[in-house]
Amino acid sequence: MSILRTKVVIVGDATVGKTAIVNQLVHQNFINSYQMTQACEYKIKEVPIEDTKTVVELHLIDVAGQKIFNSIAIDLIKDVNFCVLVYDVTQPTTLDSLQSWYEGIRDGNGGDVPGLIIGNKTDLGRSAVKSEDAQGFAESMGLGFFEISANRGQEVEDAFAAIAKQHYEAYEERVSQLKQL
Strand order from edge to edge, sheet including 40-48: 40-48, 54-63, 2-11, 82-88, 115-120, 144-147
pLDDT for the residue numbered 64: 76
For the chain (181 residues), the mean pLDDT of every run of 10, in chain order, is 95 93 92 60 94 97 65 68 97 95 90 97 95 97 97 95 97 91 77
Tell me the domains of the chain and their CATH numbers: 2-180 (3.40.50.300)
Give the C-alpha separation, 159 to 147, whole Å. 9
Cα angle: 20, vertex 93, 122; to 5 degrees: 40
Give the C-alpha separation, 31 to 139, whole Å. 31
Kind and range of the H or E element at 88?
A: strand 82-88
